Chains A and B, each alone.
Chain A
Amino acid sequence: MSDPESGDAGNDSSAPTLAEAEAKILACESSEALKEVEREYVGKQGVVARLLASIPDAPPEERPEVGKQANILKKGVQQAIQARQQGLADARVATEREGQGFDPSLPPPRPQRGSLHPLTQVTRELEDLFQSMGYRILDGPEIETDYYNFEALNIPADHPARDSHDTFFCEGDGHLVLRTHTSPVQIRALENLEPPLRVVIPGKVFRHESTDASHDHTFHQMEGLVVDRDISVAHLIGAMKTLLRGIFDRDLEVRLRPGYFPFVEPGFELDARCPFCEEGCRVCKRTRWIELLPCGLVHPNVLRAGGVDPEEWGAFAFGLGLSRLVMLRHAIDDVRHLLGGDIRFLEQF
């Protein structure tokens, strides 16, 4: 009671106290300042507390009034503080909304990421496409026997077609080779599965070639084989068009012309209208056609080698150059990047 300030507050328990408090609250610019005022009025030792503490000292008839005043003051202060707090919060949001110092051109940090090889991506896409059409996906060894790579595919020893295969031979008696195509898995499929069947075989193949920007001795292919009753060239054309639509997302004009592969008869080269130009470009060598799919009706000898009766079953087969497709898709100008292992290349996909 000796403190003059508290004495003031204690003695002057009239309305101006609330008005004064409200003025103080309104003047607060932070929640810390508000806390301070809150403590001053409604804290344990605050104005309200002291007011209430003074009740016993007051004459009995004034006591209810003092109590009432104290409560009014308390409520009033609390309300004012809450209102001010809301006001301060609103002001903060409003300031934030102004977006001062925001530079919309600031480059964002990018998350570190990994990548899937473009060949993996194209292979998966095709696998999914084929699977949706009921094809099964098979795998086969990269080191093959002469039998599967050549003999069973109607390419007997000393056949001139072996020339174009540029084969890598393994040490030994010469019957183990690095497979020159994915076609040997056709025979394995015929041997192991019951017709009718639809399979595709993606994989790595090898040709003993000198390398340059468009040739590599190791590349990736996808082989397809369909065995069913009454398979015709017309079916083959239909299937190939569907496949191309799946790859290029649109209908491309195609042309089928004779092509010689001993394991098919008749054999074709399927050319598609160059999807990259209207009047000839580098990709199509100005011919407006790109050679995309060697294909054909499977030779009866091949079906027989796989234990399938060619009188009962027909079949067509096709091959797709996955490496080539990847290059076409991403406009890659050097095939050697594909297996070069350079992260600057890999991280782009």
Chain B
Amino acid sequence: MYVSYRWLGRHIDLEGISPEQLCEDLTLSTAEVEGIEKFAPHLSAVRVGKVETRVPHPDADKLSVCTVDIGEEESLNIVCGAPNVDAGQKVAVATVGTVLPGDFKIKKSKIRGVESRGMICSVRELELGEDHDGIWVLPEEAEIGQPVADAVGLNDWVIEIDNKSLTHRPDLWGHRGIAAEIAAIYSRPLKPLSFDWPEWGDGAPYPIRIETPACSRYIGLQIDGAKATESPDWLKGLLLAVGQRSIDCLVDLSNFVMLDLGQPNHTFDRHALDSDGIAIRMAREGEQMTTLDGEERDLQPSDLLICSGDRPVALAGIMGGEGSKVGDTTDALLLEIATFAPAVVRRTSSRLGLRTDASARFEKSLDPTLPQRAGAHFARLLRELQPDVRFPAPPTDVGEWTDPAHTLTLRPEQVRRELGKAIPDEEITSILKRLGFGVEKSEAGYAVAVPSSRSTKDVHLDRDLVEEVGRIYRYGNIEEKFMRADITPPPKDPRRHLVRALQDRLAGAGRFHETLSYSFVHDALLEKLGMLDLPHVRIVNPVAHGEERIRRSVAPSLLAGLETNRRLLDDVRLFEVGKGYLPDPEDPNREPQELHLAGLVWASAPAGAGARFDAHAFNRLQGVVTDLLDHLEAAETHWRPAPAPPLWAHPAKALEAVCTESGDVLAVVAELDPGLHAGLGLSGEQASEVAVAEVSIDALLKAPQRGSRYKTLARYPGIKLDVAIALPETTAAAEVHSAIKKAGKGSVADAELFDLYRGDSVGAGRKSLAYHVTLQSEKKTLTEKDEQKFLKRFEALVGELGGELRNG
């Protein structure tokens, strides 16, 4: 909200308080000032001049040559194109070097051969209005040489207050409210303002009928003989300072009263209203109306309407209807000042996306006693501007409202305890009084009368009074204190512990980069991954079309940016710890199931033909996950083909790690379905091997742990030997591994597959596996004899598998 420093001066004496100081104090005691700016700063550079002579330009019909006295030794020669310029006028002169709005710098120039040393300005050139038909003629009293801002009283500062910090303060949505805060801060009195109605005629009060509790008070005042004339300069100037363009004196006055007291109001043309008066009712299903902005609005039964007869003439508290707009020729008006239910106004304005200055105020819960004061204020000001206006009848004042003013009990001890500062009683009561609260000593402490302006929303609890005292006393005057309490170490947090260990392992030994992603997954990506039809939690108001789904798992997020990263790097290793959400299959309103997951992706340039059998992204990622599960001390796990691989997975190359003891699936590792590569931009130059894994943190937390135990160091040396076996392609490596173990009869300390070979020397449909084997005993040093026995047993077992030992 914009506040004019000069406008505040109508309500409180600001002598000795600079605009900057005021902003600082408002920020520290009341609400956040977002900025302060000099109003129309160029007006301080433009000076009052008096046109001494005016002669036609010798070479141009429409130009005049003037000499202008600006209070300096020499008068200025200025060429002027305005038809209305004349000798004797006081005018606004921009001298050479002055910068006008639009970065327009005045230079010395020659216009058709005549030298011109400045510019006589129009209202529009000074951004004070639209008028560009001629120059701005200043009042006769304007002092020659004075800055124009001073001469016409437009020396002002515009203060911008953060609306959010006024959410709970309906009383601060007008200048008088802000002035009341200043009064409390600086202990100065507010200037008096009369809220008595001007005298009215004895005509019939205007018929007004309230048919819904959504309107608690409605005052209607009939005004005759008002004219939509141009507003006086003071009014235009103040409105301009807070960013409101002047329309005409009736519109301007309506705005002025709202910005002065915070009470929106509306004027209707009585000629456009039916004779049976105004009715306030809720809209009916299917009803429509056209608002002032020309938009046709579909109404709902939750919308509050002002009607003439049965015809809607205004969307209550938000915007008037087009039909009853006050035109230039209107001379019979009805002024509306009312109190509408904040929630009703808010719902309608939110639904229609129609936020107005009025709706912003109504939704804050306005004081129901305010309409009378605002109505009187309007009427008095109008009469000042147009002494001929008449109020033919007393105002109609209907509605069932109660004065919200109430009394709270204040215990000064509570104030001191909650603020943590020994503020004496006198200071507490003085602050409250300055803020307009009534304070009287009572048995329990003080009875504090909360004025109606603070009662609708803000001040209801004794705690609210603590805030009032604290902010005016200034929080900066409260010294810090430290809590004294028994500190017991917080209980262990297994999930956090596990997540940290996982992150550290992956970022450390795993050499993965941790990423964090948005929870939204784009439809286009899901479609490519074949996941679009899975049930997702969906947002009704996404930031962009196609981004309404919330991810079920982390993997899709990791696949989204793969193309970009692969373009830059041969080897992309990313992981993310995050959440996935599965909607409740029965009821979308039930809280979705939350999954704690870690996703991993390894994408790399394809391993060449000569690469080792286990150099592929899939093998490497499986290795990383195996290492991870081991590092996290999961009890024994084994890998098995995933019975239901994720939709993005290669249908065959998908494995899951299962806790052998509990059967829980801890992780899945899969190659990305080769059919998806092209769609994800991973073909051509970015052709990649991509493996993806998902680790369930939930499952890991539940799964049995193996604990960490030291293994005795071997006391006897072992025998290292290499064995190679040729066997049918269909025989799994695991069977060979078991055969090695079995042949060793407990003496196999290690068996590592180091080569997988297919080729002519082993024959079609066969493969060769080669292992480094270590035989070792805890009881003795093994000998060559032991090795021979092992080989003999192994050969027999390999034979059973349809294979044979290869030599060398």
Chain A: residues with CB nearer than 8 A to chain B?
Answer: 112-117, 119-120, 124, 127, 131, 133-137, 139, 141-143, 145, 157-158, 160-161, 163-164, 168-176, 178, 196, 204, 206, 208, 210-211, 217-218, 226, 228, 230-235, 237-239, 241-242, 255-260, 262, 265-269, 297, 299-300, 314, 338-344, 346-347
Contacts and interface: CB of A to CB of B under 8 A. Distances in A.
Contacts of B790: none
A232 B564 contact: no
Given A170-B538, A299-B463, A114 B516 contact: no
Given A116-B503, A258-B471, A232 B514 contact: no
Interface in B556-578: 557-558, 560-561, 564-565, 568-569, 572-574
20 contacts: A114-B513, A117-B515, A134-B485, A136-B490, A136-B491, A141-B591, A143-B591, A160-B346, A173-B589, A176-B537, A204-B519, A226-B483, A232-B420, A233-B478, A234-B419, A234-B481, A257-B29, A265-B463, A269-B32, A341-B564
B792 interface: no
Contacts of B560: 341
A150 to B, nearest CB: 14
A170 B537 contact: yes
A171 B418 contact: no
Contacts of A268: 475
B565 A172 contact: no
Nearest to A197: B490
A196 B480 CA distance: 20
B511 interface: yes
A124 B513 CA distance: 17
Interface stretch (B277-285, B539-547, B661-669): B539-547
Contacts of A113: 507, 511
B487 A134 contact: yes
B417 interface: yes
A265 B464 contact: yes
B418 A142 contact: no
Contact of A341 (B27, B476, B550, B565): B565
B480 A343 contact: no
Contacts of A228: 483, 485
Contacts of B581: 142-143
**Closest CB pairs A-B (n = 5):** A234-B420, A232-B420, A266-B467, A158-B343, A134-B487
A346 to B, nearest CB: 4
Interface residues of B, number: 90
Given A171-B538, A178-B519, A260-B165, 13 more contacts: A114-B573, A137-B490, A161-B168, A164-B167, A168-B539, A170-B539, A171-B540, A232-B419, A239-B482, A256-B476, A257-B32, A268-B475, A346-B574
Given A115-B507, A233-B420, A258-B31, A238 B482 contact: yes
B201 interface: no
Given A158-B343, A169-B539, A241-B480, A258 B491 contact: no
Interface centre among B512, B513, B520, B557 (most CB of A within 10 A): B513
Given A235-B483, A269-B32, A342-B564, A258 B168 contact: no
Nearest to A238: B480
B511 A112 contact: yes
A17 B558 CA distance: 82
Interface string B117-146: 000000000000000000000000000000
A178 B591 CA distance: 11
B539 A120 contact: no
Nearest to B28: A257
A239 B420 CA distance: 13
Given A232-B417, A300-B463, A341 B517 contact: yes
B355 to A, nearest CB: 9
A160 B503 contact: no
A265 B363 CA distance: 21
Nearest to B564: A342
Contacts of B518: 217-218, 339
Contact of A139 (B343, B495, B500, B558): B495
B461 interface: yes
A86 B543 CA distance: 79
B479 interface: yes
B539 to A, nearest CB: 5
Nearest to A220: B516
A234 B496 contact: no
B780 interface: no
Given A178-B539, A232-B419, A114 B476 contact: no
A173 B542 CA distance: 16
Contacts of B514: 114-117, 120, 346
Contacts of A269: 32
A235 B420 contact: yes
Contacts of A258: 28-31, 165, 467, 471, 475
A238 B483 contact: yes
Contact of A343 (B32, B513, B539, B592): B513
A160 B568 CA distance: 47
B352 to A, nearest CB: 15
A255 B476 contact: yes
Given A208-B543, A256-B476, A119 B516 contact: yes
A265 B463 CA distance: 7
B164 interface: yes
B471 A160 contact: no
Interface centre among A176, A314, A343 (most CB of B within 10 A): A343
Contacts of B588: 170-172, 176
A235 to B, nearest CB: 5
Contacts of A265: 461, 463-464, 466-467
A175 B590 CA distance: 9
Contacts of A241: 480
Interface centre among B463, B503, B540 (most CB of A within 10 A): B463
A135 B487 CA distance: 9
B516 A338 contact: yes
B195 to A, nearest CB: 27
A120 B512 CA distance: 14
A146 to B, nearest CB: 10
A165 to B, nearest CB: 10
A164 B482 CA distance: 33
Contacts of A237: 475, 478-481
A266 B470 contact: yes
A114 B511 contact: yes
Contacts of B500: 124
Contacts of B165: 258-260
B629 to A, nearest CB: 18
A163 B346 CA distance: 10
Contact of B417 (A169, A196, A230, A239): A230
A157 B343 contact: yes
A33 to B, nearest CB: 36
B433 interface: no
B508 interface: yes
Given A143-B592, A158-B343, A218-B518, A238 B464 contact: no
B663 to A, nearest CB: 27
A141 B591 CA distance: 9
Contacts of B461: 265, 300
Nearest to B510: A114
Contacts of A163: 167
Given A169-B541, A232-B417, A300-B463, A160 B574 contact: no
A114 B420 contact: no
Interface string B69-112: 00000000000000000000000000000000000000000000
B556 to A, nearest CB: 12
Given A116-B507, A176-B589, A208 B167 contact: no
A164 B164 contact: yes
Contacts of B592: 143, 176
A345 to B, nearest CB: 9
B541 A208 contact: yes
Interface string B384-420: 0000000000000000000000000000000001111
A348 to B, nearest CB: 10
